[in-house]
Structure 1
Amino acid sequence: MIAIENITVQFAEKKVLNDISIKFEQGEMIGLVAPNGTGKSTLMNVIMNYLPPTSGKVSFNGNLSYSSKSNEVKIHEFVSMMPDQSDLYNHLSGRAHLKMFATMWKSDPKMIDETIEALNMGHYVNKKTGTYSLGMRQRLCFAMQIVANTDIMMMDEVMNGLDPNNIEIISKILMKKKAEGKMIIIASHLLDNLEKYADRIFLFNEGKLVDTNEIIEGFSQAKIKTVRVKNMEESVKALLKEKYPLIEQQTLVTDMTLLHLPSSEPMLLSELTEFLVDNNVMDFAFGKVTLNDLYALYYHEVV
């Protein structure tokens, strides 16, 4: 468990993190979403004590905090952050990197071959990392954290440079680790993937963490209370507002219009479908507000 208590990080006049207090539990996958430079990486660096906060503290499992160097050593026995590609040694093989991490965290050496197989790395893992493509290097960085096998794992843009097949492979490994009781904190711009797997998702606003459920009530629940309409004409919007005044309309920078229904009654859904078709609106779908929608709504930009 991580308890973040009144954490503030300030550079000159700018508060990157502003009095954040929150708890994360074991067995949770936490998603962090925001434009670059708004605090995602800063929060992770504070949790790792790579960056001391201006004020506040982080504690683990109830009482362990970064109050001394010996405590930091204890914490880093069960907390890890995925290495960056720049941390790799080009003259060493991928297998050598995995052995190094397994040794540093005293994890089961059997995990090395298991992870190599799970990530389909067998055909290149014995080569020097200086010969790797960006995608191969990214998989190796992920594999290094997996073989460390810490109870708390943090990852900043873990899916960068990966094709859909490898994204799916990594996602399944993360779900397996979550089922084992690991806490996984991920900052990512792959919103579809994050929405699919994360238990809680937070956006950043003026240095604060904002739960997606606070922005859209019941966001994490799969309820059909939204219709997503692409390129809806203004005349149709006006007509819809006149006929259904209780349906809230929001148009995003993506030209997607969200119609928030007051209820998901079948009769209302049927009436709305008939209205849209009668007004030559064919490109629409019933469902829920997506994380991509929410991002565009909140930050007025597209990922």
Structure 2
Amino acid sequence: MINIQNITVQFGEKKVLNDISITFEQGELIGLVAPNGTGKSTLMNVLMNYLQPTSGKVIFDKGLSYSSKSNEVKIHQFVSMMPDQSDLYNHLSGREHLKMFATMWKSDMKLIDETIEALNMGHYVNKKTGTYSLGMRQRLCFAMQIVANTEIMMMDEVMNGLDPNNVEVISKILMKKKAEGKMIIIASHLLDNLEKYADRIFLFSEGKLVDANLIVNGFSEASIKTIRVKKMPEDTREQMKQVYPELKFETLVNDMTLIHLPSSEATRLSDLTAFLVDKQMNDFAFGKVTLNDLYAMYYHEIV
């Protein structure tokens, strides 16, 4: 458990984090989404005590907080943050890095070979990391945190530089760790993947955490709430508004029009389909507002 109490981080006149209070529980996968420079990494650094907040405190299980160096040592026995590629030693092999992390966190050495196999690292893990590609280095950084096997894991852009196959492999490992009761906090720009697996997703606004469900009511529910239409002409949109005045329309920066439905009865969906097809609007889909849509709505940009 992490209980964040009134955390503020201020640099000069700018409040990067502004009086944040929230609790994260074990067994949750938390997604943090925002443009660069809005507070994602700052929040993680506060949770790790790499950065001391201007005010507020972070409380862990059994009331532990960063009130002393001895407490920090205790907390870092069950809290870890995925290393950065710049933290790797080019003269050491991947396996040596994994042994180092397993030893530091006193975890089961069997995890090393299990993780190497799960991440398909066997053909290069014994080579020096100075010979690795960016994708290989990223997989190693992820593997190092997995073998540490802490109860709370934090990851900043864990999927950077990975191809779709490796993204899927890492996602499955994350779900396995979540099922084991780990708390996983991920800051990511891979929104499709994050939306698929996260229990709760938060965006940042003026230093505050904003639950995605407060931006779009029922965002996390798997139900038909929206029609997504690509490149809908203005005249077609105006005609549809006249025929269906109860609908709410929203056009995003990527030229996607969202039509929000007050209800999703079969008759209504059939009528709307017929209208769009009649207007030769064939590139549309029924579903829910996606995380990519939400990002574009909230930040007026696309990723």
* TM-score normalised by the chain length of structure 1: 0.99
Aligned to 1:273: 273
Aligned to 1:112: 112
Q: How far is 1:61 from its partner? A: 1.2
Aligned to 2:241: 241
Within 2, Cα distance between the matches of 1:145 and 1:189?
A: 20
Deviations 1:63-92 (A, max 9, x none): 110000000000000000000000000000
Aligned to 1:41: 41
Aligned to 2:295: 295
Aligned to 1:51: 51
Within 1, Cα distance between the matches of 2:218 and 2:136?
A: 38
Q: Matched residues, percent identical?
A: 82
The answer to whether 1:138 aligns with 2:132 is no
Aligned to 2:182: 182
Is the partner of 1:77 in helix, strand or coil?
Answer: coil
- Kindly indicate whether the alpha-carbon contact (under 8 Å) linking 1:3 and 1:62 is maintained by their aligned counterparts in 2: no
Q: How far is 1:23 from its partner? A: 0.3
Within 2, Cα distance between the matches of 1:187 and 1:280?
A: 40
Aligned to 1:88: 88
Q: How far is 1:240 from its partner? A: 0.7
The correspondence of residues 155-194 of structure 1 with structure 2, limited to 5 A, is: 155-194=155-194
Q: How far is 1:280 from its partner? A: 1.3
Is the partner of 1:240 in helix, strand or coil?
Answer: helix
Is the partner of 2:298 in helix, strand or coil?
Answer: helix
Deviations 1:51-72 (A, max 9, x none): 0000000010151100000000
- Kindly indicate whether the alpha-carbon contact (under 8 Å) linking 1:247 and 1:261 is maintained by their aligned counterparts in 2: yes
Q: How far is 1:230 from its partner? A: 0.2
Distance 1:274 1:9, change over 3 A: same
Q: How far is 1:22 from its partner? A: 0.2
Within 2, Cα distance between the matches of 1:13 and 1:66?
A: 26
The residue identity in structure 2 corresponding to 1:94 is: G
Within 2, Cα distance between the matches of 1:62 and 1:230?
A: 51
Aligned to 2:73: 73
Aligned to 2:60: 60
The answer to whether 1:231 aligns with 2:231 is yes
Aligned to 1:257: 257
Aligned to 1:154: 154
Deviations 1:192-213 (A, max 9, x none): 0000000000000000000000
The residue identity in structure 1 corresponding to 2:286 is: F
Within 2, Cα distance between the matches of 1:225 and 1:144?
A: 41
The residue identity in structure 2 corresponding to 1:47 is: L
- Kindly indicate whether the alpha-carbon contact (under 8 Å) linking 1:95 and 1:126 is maintained by their aligned counterparts in 2: yes
The answer to whether 1:203 aligns with 2:203 is yes
Is the partner of 2:159 in helix, strand or coil?
Answer: coil
Is the partner of 1:196 in helix, strand or coil?
Answer: helix
Within 2, Cα distance between the matches of 1:277 and 1:118?
A: 46
Is the partner of 2:177 in helix, strand or coil?
Answer: helix
The residue identity in structure 1 corresponding to 2:126 is: N
Structure 2 unmatched runs, 5+: none
Moved over 4 A (4+): none
Q: What's the C-alpha RMSD, in Å, of the aligned pairs?
A: 0.5
Is the partner of 1:237 in helix, strand or coil?
Answer: helix
Within 1, Cα distance between the matches of 2:70 and 2:125?
A: 35
Within 1, Cα distance between the matches of 2:225 and 2:168?
A: 28
Number of residue-to-residue matches in the alignment: 303
Structure 1 unmatched runs, 5+: none
The answer to whether 1:129 aligns with 2:152 is no
Within 2, Cα distance between the matches of 1:143 and 1:207?
A: 31
The residue identity in structure 1 corresponding to 2:169 is: I
